[in-house]
Amino acid sequence: MHQAHRNNFLEVLAARNAAAIVFSGDHKVRNHDCDYRFRPESDFVYLTGFDEPDSVLLLLPNGEGTAESPRSILFLRERDLAMETWHGRRLGVARATEALGVDAAKPISEFWEHLPRLLQNHEAVICATGTDADRDEKLLAAMHRVRLMARNGVMAPMALEHPRESLHELRLYKNRPELDVMRRAAAVTTEAHIAAMKAAQPGGNECEIDALIDYTFRARGGTGAAYNNIVAGGDNACILHYVENNQELKDGQLLLIDAGCEMDYYATDVTRTFPIGGAFTEDQKALYQIVLDAQLAGIDEVQDGKPYNGFHDAATRVLCQGLIDLGIIEGDLDEALAEKRYVPYTIHKTGHWLGLDVHDMGAYTNEDGTPRTFEPGMVVTVEPGLYFAEDNQDVDPRWRGIGIRIEDDILVTPTGNENLTAGIPKTIEEVEAACAGASTPVLA
């Protein structure tokens, strides 16, 4: 899979006569001498499947694909008995070509020294700059050194480009092996959400559910959570990125859980909202059904050939009509939409690309600014919500302290779409049954 990704990218690079540099990233300090668990940068994972820090992939489209004239060179850490005893095993230079299928492998300590020579006779360099000033400075210095060789007849790369328009366009279209991974991630996410619905009881705590979700993700083979879990009871659901996850679960409140398993570094992104204690109140039902109808209307618009903005517009229309029907906003639907009267209660947009990054790479608009068109292989989240904070004086007190979001991961197919996370209870009846422990996930 990763070799195929590399070959596709090399074709793009050959057409541009561009070299590409892709960093794995380094350990990040958590506190004093403790690091966060290492997670490689997504571009690097996409092209190598390798997950050691301090590695760099260099792609040279003019090479012949041999060790002497490589098209792909991986720079990585050398084996070191003492370091491996303390900090963990390393693949090492000698084993890298066979294990990863790259043409050549070299010690990372030699990367900057070799770089100017290797960049010769390319018109451009593609590299994701802007996140590491030290790295950027070394890269610019290396490009400058190539330019100094010009009097020897060497062509130096003049352009330094971000991978946004090349590599990230490739990442947007998921192929079959990637979708297999995403389906496995979705199956584990399904199990976690169902377990959470069953486990959440009045008098419990958000942290217990948070831990149960993490446990399920890791125990079922995931790399962990694709992003920080949001386990938000009652009014906490109105804080969109609430991650404290440490408050008591109260009877009669809703629990909003936004959590997705990461599998082989591919993300799932799912939200469900369900009643603590197992039964929706009538007011909660009324709001929940509006969000659900909006989500289904949105999913319907995720189709090959339809514009990207369509699902947001369709979901928003349903949310807006629902708010009117409940007397929360006034109008005439078209007038309420035109004046965006729904915005205080819907707050966010309805979705985003999904893949190795939870907010995945890939442009949302065409060059002229118009929304791009859905095509098979794209995966997008559809996640409308309604939020009425406890201290919102503009709404009837009956709605306050309620936040509801429903989110699934939708794959565009040649004939329509496929909901990768369809197995997670979603209708009012399904959710109440799952809270009562009646739902058993079927693992892929």
Q: Which is nearer to Mn ion, 178 or 269 (CB)?
A: 269
- Nearest Cα neighbor of 47 from 105, 3, 10 is 3
Residues that bind Mn ion (CB under 5 A): 269, 381
- 348 classed as catalytic: yes
CB-count exposure of residue 410 (10 Å: 0-12, 13-18, 19+) = buried
**Between 428-435 and 176-199, two packed helices, what is the crossing angle to 10 degrees?**
60
- 32 classed as catalytic: no
> Considering the complex, what minimum distance in angstroms separates the CB of residue 52 from Mn ion?
29
- 248 classed as catalytic: no
- 405 classed as catalytic: yes
Question: Distance between CA 77 and CA 83 in Å, rounded?
Answer: 11
- 168 classed as catalytic: no
With CB atoms as reference, the residue minimizing the distance to Mn ion is 269
- 180 classed as catalytic: no
> Considering the complex, what minimum distance in angstroms separates the CB of residue 228 from Mn ion?
12
- 352 classed as catalytic: yes
Q: Which is nearer to Mn ion, 156 or 230 (CB)?
A: 230
User: Do strands 385-388 and 402-405 pair parallel, antiparallel, or not at all (unpaired)?
Assistant: antiparallel
- Collapse the DSSP code of 58 into the 3-class scheme (helix H, G, I; strand E, B; otherwise coil) and give the result: strand
Q: Which of 317, 352, 360, 409 is labelled catalytic? A: 352
Give the 3-state secondary structure percentages of the chain, helix then strand then coil, rounded to 5: 40, 20, 40
- 193 classed as catalytic: no
> Considering the complex, what minimum distance in angstroms separates the CB of residue 352 from Mn ion?
6
Question: Distance between CA 384 and CA 408 in Å, rounded?
Answer: 10
- 90 classed as catalytic: no
Q: Which is nearer to Mn ion, 103 or 210 (CB)?
A: 210
Q: Which is nearer to Mn ion, 52 or 407 (CB)?
A: 407
Number of neighbouring beta carbons within 10 Å of residue 374: 21
Q: Which is nearer to Mn ion, 210 or 409 (CB)?
A: 409
> Considering the complex, what minimum distance in angstroms separates the CB of residue 260 from Mn ion?
8
CA dihedral sign of residues 196, 199, 200, 205: negative
Reading the block at residue 161, the tokens are 């480009």
Q: Which of 33, 134, 282, 429 is labelled catalytic? A: 33
> Considering the complex, what minimum distance in angstroms separates the CB of residue 25 from Mn ion?
23
Q: Which amino acid is at 256?
A: L
Active site residues: 33, 241, 258, 269, 348, 352, 359, 383, 387, 405, 407
